[in-house]
Structure 1
């Protein structure tokens, strides 16, 4: 497995590279945003460890550029900022996980393994497409279509839509969605899931008919053909 670390703190970068190399990963290191983005877009990586506060180009900008160019390499954000809004921003932009400094190296290894395992499961899907009404998901190419029109989704939005479509008609709680899509537990007062659903709805449902993604009050979300007036 080949990893890219984008970290401007020299000691931290070298420490992570040494530890991950000793854990049998092949590791490249970039110490600024411009070099990190160039390597991420020109080389093949299984995962990127991306610091937020970087010289020349910050982690948010790098992540946004990757996702806007349909580069869906898993990204684990590393930052000293432990604000809810920062975590929400990273997840909205398409990060796969978020780790706050300082952290234990064993936790980093566990997060990396979980992301890689989750990504591997997605890549070996036996059914290559899922279709519900005029909404189609191509699992191999990681593309979504509605009325045969391509929909530009981030990696996380695609995973969220895939979960909803695979469990059509089943009401999924916020905590279940958080654990399945982000492999994380969120506090009950965090609106990460609501924000993600709203963004997905705006892309997948708002311009089209019939509406497929519905809110079931006090319970969660469901993808199905139902009458919104029937929601509790």
Structure 2
């Protein structure tokens, strides 16, 4: 899942982002609504977490704008406000949930998944005892910690995962990973070699002269 987070309290924003990132989510965070509306691609998220009281443009105004533009992404408000009228306003604007501060980060994740259950089902593909792949945010996890991959490596791995146990040809790699550019065979070999260093030993298997297979075996 890809998450949009708006929270003006720096320490809380950092803690939420760190927690969700470790859990395998991709998080774009913003301090206030003005910054969010200027830089975020609002169509690119599975869930939005918005603080109510932020400088310049607050959470309510952000959600109003989002809904006026027919963006129906599930949204959770987080706030220290306990005023019933504020809570009711959040739901009137189309919020999926309202979480009062202070809260446990595990509860935030649980509420987040509840707003978008389809995104939490079958999201993880187990590669071996130590490695998992989050298909929704295209993240490789080793012992639950996200691995650092380049954009090319991420696209390469995603293509192998999506075609697991099937041949991915060199032409398929050029078309998807390098956007159809004329790159040398050596570039593909070099990328494969570097990617193998971050994966289980038996995952990428070479098919001589044709391409590669990402092998995922059933793990009992």
Question: TM-score, with normalisation over the residues of structure 1?
Answer: 0.49
Tell me if the contact between 1:41 and 1:71 (Cα under 8 Å) persists in the aligned partners.
Answer: no
Q: 1:97 to 1:35 in 2, by over 3 A?
A: same
Partner in structure 1 of residue 83 of structure 2: 83
Tell me if the contact between 2:2 and 2:25 (Cα under 8 Å) persists in the aligned partners.
Answer: yes
Larger Rg: 2
5+ residue gaps in structure 1? 122-232
Partner in structure 2 of residue 29 of structure 1: 29
Q: What's the CA shift string for 1:51-94, capped at 9, x where partnerless? A: 00011101110000100110111110010001211111000001
5+ residue gaps in structure 2? 122-220
Partner in structure 1 of residue 143 of structure 2: none
Measure the CA separation in 2 of the matches of 1:103 and 1:41: 28
Tell me if the contact between 2:42 and 2:66 (Cα under 8 Å) persists in the aligned partners.
Answer: no
Partner in structure 2 of residue 9 of structure 1: 9
Partner in structure 2 of residue 102 of structure 1: 102
Measure the CA separation in 1 of the matches of 2:41 and 2:92: 20
Partner in structure 2 of residue 93 of structure 1: 93
Measure the CA separation in 1 of the matches of 2:17 and 2:120: 23
* SS class of match (1:3): strand
The alpha carbon displacement at 1:120 in A equals 8.0
Q: What's the CA shift string for 1:111-160, capped at 9, x where partnerless? A: 01111106789xxxxxxxxxxxxxxxxxxxxxxxxxxxxxxxxxxxxxxx
Question: TM-score, with normalisation over the residues of structure 2?
Answer: 0.52
Q: What's the CA shift string for 1:135-190, capped at 9, x where partnerless? A: xxxxxxxxxxxxxxxxxxxxxxxxxxxxxxxxxxxxxxxxxxxxxxxxxxxxxxxx
Q: 1:75 to 1:39 in 2, by over 3 A?
A: farther
RMSD of aligned residue pairs (Cα, Å): 1.8
Tell me if the contact between 2:7 and 2:30 (Cα under 8 Å) persists in the aligned partners.
Answer: yes
How many residue pairs align between the two structures?
121
* SS class of match (1:56): coil
Higher helix share: 1
* SS class of match (1:71): coil
Tell me if the contact between 1:41 and 1:66 (Cα under 8 Å) persists in the aligned partners.
Answer: no
Measure the CA separation in 2 of the matches of 1:82 and 1:3: 25
Measure the CA separation in 1 of the matches of 2:12 and 2:66: 24
* SS class of match (1:113): helix
Tell me if the contact between 1:8 and 1:32 (Cα under 8 Å) persists in the aligned partners.
Answer: yes
